[in-house]
Amino acid sequence: MNRGSFGTESAGSDPTGTSLCTPYDTYTNSNGKSIAYYPCGLIAMSIFNDTFSLSSQSSDGTETLVDWTNNGIYYDDSDAQTFVSKDENWLRSHCYYLGSPTRNDSDFNVTGFPQSLRDFHGNPNGRYHCWQYMSAPELRVWMRTAGNPNFWKLHRIIHGSLEKGTYRMKIDLNFPVASFSGTKGFVLTNASPFGGKRDSLAIVYFVVGAMCFAITLFLLFLGLTRHKGQKPPIEYVEVKPVEQASHGSASTAAAKLGVSTKRRDSTMQSGSSEVPQRTISFPPPPDAKFASNFVSTTKYTMITFLPLNLLLQFHRFANCYFLIVAILASIPSISPVGGSTFWLPLLTVLTITALKDGLEDYGRYQSDVEENSRYTEIWEGDGFHKVTWAHVQVGSLVRVQTVDKELSPMVPADLVLLATSSLDGTCFLETMNLDGETNLKQRQSPEDSHHELTVKSGVDPQTGEALLQVRPEAVQRLQVEVTCAEPDIMLYDFNGRMKFNAVENKIPLYGGSSGGQFLQRSTKLKNTKWMLGLCVYTGKETKIQKNMSDPPNKVSNIERKLNGFILALFCFLFLLCCAGAIGAGLFLGKVDIKGAWYLMPQITSAAFNVDKAGLSGAVSFFSFLILLSMLIPISLYVSVEFVKAFIAVIISFDRLMWVEEDDMPSKARSAGLCEELGQVNYIFSDKTGTLTQNLMEFKKCSIAGVEYGRGFCEVERAIARRKGQTLPPDPEPPRGLDKGFRFVDERLLFGKWREQASSKQIELFLMSLALNHNVQVETDLMRPDAEPVFQAESPDEGAFVSAARNLDFFFCRRSMKDIVLRIKDPHGRTEEKTWTVLNTNAFDNNRKRTSVVVRAAGEDRVMLLVKGADTCVMPFVDRDGGACPYFKTTQDHLDKFSEQGLRTLVFAGRELGREEYADWNRDYMAASLLSEGREDTLRQLASYIEENHLEKGRKSVIFDSSVPHRKTLSLYGVTALEDKLQENVGDCIAQLAKAMIKIWVLTGDKLETAINIGFATALLSTEMEPLIRISQDDLAEPTGDWQSTASAAEMALFNACSAARGRRSDELKFYLKQAAEGLPAADRKMVEDLLVQTSDDAGGEEAQGQFSLAESRLKDALLRERVRNAVKRMAQQTQQPRAGGYALVIDGPCLRAAMEEDLKMDFLRASILCKAVVCCRVTPAQKAQVTLLVKDNMPGQICLAIGDGANDVSMIQAAHIGVGIRGKEGQQAVLASDYALPRFAYLERLLLIHGRWSYNRIGTMVCYFFYKNIAYALTLFWFSITNAFSAQVLYDDGYQSLYNLMFTSLPVMFFAVLDRDVEPEIVKRRPELYYTGQINQHFNMTRFWTFIFGAVCHSLLLYYVTFYCMDLNVTDDSGRSLGLWSVGTTVLTNVIITVTVIISLHTRSWTWIHAVVYLGSVAWWWFFLLVYHSLAPGWMGSYDSADTVYRVIFQLGDSLMYWLIQLVVVLLCVVPVLSYKFFREHYFPGIDDYYRRVVANPASYRDAEPDLVEWLQSGGLSAGRAQLANGAG
């Protein structure tokens, strides 16, 4: 072990200078090299039964031989200083047992013992215990055998009472040296329990004692003085935006999220209008080859699990690293340890991960088995037969039933509807499995196929409707051919044509979210007894399977930083390996080393060859790489994963985040981001359904200029509270109304509306409420007597139907084309009236309105009923000639309702002329037959009829004001719905704001509505006024002296707009040239194009079109320029601090301009200086754009997005953390989220409590993991300096294999799951405690390298203090040796105790679990030593044949030094850390340290924290703990 301490010079010299060291013998090795042996100095040759004698020398030079006798070694005063020992037979019987009785080592060179000794197996329990009867030793003689050069054995003991004098030691060799391929030697050592370094040890003890005493006094002084550290300042984290990738457009943002913006699959050829087609026939041809309907969502099979899982696991760099190390460690020539040292932990980590992955995949397998085993019916030859879903094929005729319990009511594959049990051919689907929505969707079978395949079989006694059944003879002769597109990812899109029974005219087929003939797999048939469909897509080609893609892979901030830290540690490891390799090469290159016989230079290896020192040094690099590989913790990743999984379970079972009445818990859908919850800087929130309940209450309405509805909404009450006013409670609704309908106005209720002057207008309004919707009536076919349930696609429509019902227009039922209303007459009698829905123009985000064309039964009059946003309906209302005298009043009501935070919709309509409708309907039906471009064409036709265009094929006037149109709509009325705020939303937002989190609300509401909601939710406050407003209305018609601040480009564009409006061509060109000089590139190109397009020769309609186009485009450019100037003014304004901070309100059109490439960074720099931002009238794509703008350009800032609907999915996936509200708009947001909450208010606890705890725990856990591994690994490096850089191990292989897995992993894992640095009640009262995560207080560069520095310092103390205190050759009073493995065991004991104490110092909340785990880890180490050291070598075969630590712990346990060293070394390591933490927390506390001191000693902080101290002293904390004990936490 100390090969660097000896050389030929260590033989010494005589007083005259003559060398006493001459070669004793030489021999020639196999390479022909002469090897010399030096017997003198500290090193000499010996073997167990060599003759050893000791003689005393008198003053006259006479030598007296000291004999060995059978009485043992002792000193007898009466016998002239005579020493005796056991005789040779006794020694042979008790000392010279080697190996196990079954061992057959015939090679003499292996053991280094003669056959007589190798075959002797007496006294198997007394192996190497030839000194067990000795006592009071002082000097010992140690011998090293030739066969095992690393093993030193006690050979003789010299009594401590030997008188002072001169003695000569003589050794006679009984066997020739040349017989051995190694060397033998002996060493004479001091045998005191305190070793030969008594002075050094005394100094160490004195230093430790003095330091502990001084620190104790210092800590006592600090405790008595109770110094009150100042509260650290809390402020928003300032980060300068750094421009990254461009996200200026919706398509770019979509690409960032991996979402395709194309309407078709990637199989479409660019620039080609042709889409790949497939043809499906019934009966199906025998040679048809399509995908099987068997679905497998598993990653693995029994055959591929092991190789594929290992391949995936080795994508992680750490696993690859440890695999390489394990392979290197298995090469004996370069490895200082056995390969099992690394294979065991690596295989353990791989096995645990594989088991976890296997269990997850097995769950998917069980789900697949359940789905593939469901039963349905398909037509096979002579009738319908029950088969499993897996047997359904493309071309199969499938019948789905709801009346047979043995058959699944779910659709087994993507089908084209042919017939249903309904007389009109309709059926209803629940698409919960598709999009999370529970409302029913209608599908319509083609009339030809429905009538051909069905026949009446009776009358339903409950409803009186005819019952239909399938006609088998019609199915027998059925011939169907469907041509449609190849499978794609568009969930609802489907276009095709069907050739039915050889009829030449093909029937068009189409899909959609609320109509068509396309039925997706896994949708559920409802309200329909059966349906018949032709299978077009199966298995992996179905729409739902095509859309089953994994969500974006999100990596936490800590994990991203961790990769950089690991890279730095790899560099550190590389430097250490280089240092070791250089040291080994330099040592082996010394001239003297070649004569050091005791190092056996004749036995060469790759790492030890004195003739090739450079090569051996290079090989030593890999030896050190193996030796120090524990510098990188292999178990870190799997430990962190387990901790995060436990934290996710804790979040999911938190009863304080559980809605008891709905039995709806919160759910952690992603366990990998829990620490990210504690670092959030920005929250991007939807409003409707997120901040509000999405339960619409019909609050008010305006009809014919008269406002109806009493009571106050929440926003009105919030505004009144801001003004210090109190509003009276709302009146209770009268009896006789539906439960939950709280509209109160005696002028309308109970038929009183007929007495109003505008009763005709009111009737049109109520009729429009009852007809213009997609609400379905759901009935339970298994319970015909049950009450019908209304299924609405949105809460708005449900509120409209409910209002119409309570105002005498009762929606009864609907069929494919008919809606039946029950209407009360003035006398209270009811009559049913039927309206036929001729056409439906569905809602889309561009038009923001929906319309239906209806005709009453028995009438020829055709009515167009329109409802939509005020900005998309009011501009088309006829106001000419007093047609709408109440238009201005209604607009005022709209503004008033918006200011009150109510959701407004405008209802209008007009009568269509017979020819007008016939012409439009002809185009509509033709568009319905299109296989491509159907939706765009229908959207244009909807705009054409709603806006009454004068030209066909034009876009909506909303997007192109140059489109000629007539304003012909009649205004029926306006509805105002209140979407009540969720419980405690205002308190939650206020708490998040105090936690220094900035909240941006992104909503589709009007600007005034959004502002008032902001005040009602405490997002905005009076201190923020005046608000920074950037809206299209304000910028389109600016007030005041705006010209004085306008830019030259703005003035030129304004004048150009005026010139275009006035049709002044020369003036227009002049201002266009002026404007082009100061505009950005995109607008400059547009202006230059207008210059080219504007012609002096044009006249009439052509000139009018040119000027209209120029005016429209110039208005857009003017708006962008004004937004650009507004953003620049805002940037200057926000640079000046203001007490209440700033708040920005911007609408969608202005936001679109602000997100232009040349402006978005200026917009970002200004907006991040605002405490709150409200974006209104925004689209889903803009939500994602804004989120990505902050996320990608604000490094280190964590963004959280929260929403409840499908329109929030892109925003949720764009943010670092996505939270879905389990609300009324389906489950799309939840399915795309990382965390699901039942209510927005639970976001406070999720972030401030669970998020904060998780960040603090995991940040400390990761730092500590590196600390404990580096402290362990560096002791091996310091030991290599002692042993001449030989890469010799200090620890047994078993220690290294289990250090992370068994001895040090549990304490840190329990810490990371259970530790609570501050009680949740304290965080609730002081939300600024969340600030620690935002500034990365617990996982930053400084703290990480502080832990690393501590590990380096502790490793030095752990090794060198232990090494020099023990003095490797020290023994105890029993005579047992304390050699290499004794020192290694002692050092590792100190390491384990020290790292356990360090994690306990970081533990803030102690429970009995912590005490058991922490103390148990140390106790487990000692228990392991007792068991492991009791196993005799060879007990496990060749795995542990080396005699290393056998019975070492029993020898150490009897040594006082072993226990004293633990106390000394642990105190040396721990006391400085304890002092530093105590001093820092008292004098330079963080925000969490400060409040822990307040809780610990509230009386000292009465002046600084009066309310908190009063609450603490009143027992508030104890009450909060009791609440948690009852199941909350």
Q: Which residues belong to the active site?
A: 686
CB-based contacts of 1251, cutoff 8 Å, min separation 6: 674, 675, 676, 677, 678, 679, 680, 1330, 1333
Q: In sequence order, what DSSP letters do the residues of 660-705 get, joined into one string?
A: TTTTEE-EES-GGGGGGGGGEEEEEE--TTTTEEEEEEEEEEEETT
CB 464 within 8 A of CB 812: no
**What whole-number distance in Å separates Cα of residue 100 and Cα of residue 386?**
71
CB 1044 within 8 A of CB 1029: no
Half-sphere exposure at residue 1209, Cβ-oriented, CA atoms within 13 angstroms: 19
**Residues paired with 459 in a beta bridge:** 466
**What whole-number distance in Å separates Cα of residue 595 and Cα of residue 592?**
6
Structure tokens at 629: 């590989």
**What whole-number distance in Å separates Cα of residue 951 and Cα of residue 1104?**
14
CB 987 within 8 A of CB 1241: yes
In one letter, which amino acid is 705? G
**What whole-number distance in Å separates Cα of residue 1203 and Cα of residue 1200?**
10
Strand order in the sheet with 518-519: 384-388, 375-379, 397-401, 530-537, 414-420, 518-519
CB 1322 within 8 A of CB 1495: yes
CB 792 within 8 A of CB 811: no
Query: In terms of DSSP H, where are the helices of 477-601?
Result: 543-546, 557-588
Q: In sequence order, what DSSP letters do the residues of 1311-1344 get, joined into one string?
A: HHHH--SS-HHHHHH-GGGGHHHHTTSSSSHHHH
**What whole-number distance in Å separates Cα of residue 1054 and Cα of residue 351?**
71
In terms of phi and psi (left: phi > 0; alpha: psi -120 to 50; beta: otherwise), the region of 1226 is left
Per the listing, tokens 């077009």 go with 536
**What whole-number distance in Å separates Cα of residue 693 and Cα of residue 673?**
27
**Residues paired with 509 in a beta bridge:** 496
Q: What is the pairing mode between strands 809-814 and 830-841? A: unpaired
CB 171 within 8 A of CB 184: no
Query: In terms of DSSP H, where are the helices of 95-178?
Result: 108-111, 115-118
Q: Which of 640, 644, 631 is nearest to 1267 (CA)?
A: 631
CB-based contacts of 712, cutoff 8 Å, min separation 6: 720, 727, 728, 730
**Three-class SS of residue 728?**
coil
**Three-class SS of residue 946?**
helix
**What whole-number distance in Å separates Cα of residue 1026 and Cα of residue 644?**
44
**What whole-number distance in Å separates Cα of residue 505 and Cα of residue 498?**
9
Q: What are the respective helix, strand and coil percentages of the chain, to the nearest 5? A: 45, 20, 35
* Count of CB atoms situated within 10 Å of the CB of 190: 16
Per the listing, tokens 């068509």 go with 516
Per the listing, tokens 């500590």 go with 1264
Cα angle value 1460/1465/1470 (rounded, 5°): 130
Q: In sequence order, what DSSP letters do the residues of 1241-1293 get, joined into one string?
A: THHHHIIIIIIHHHHHHHHHHHHHHHHHHHHHHHHHHHHHHHTTT----SS-H
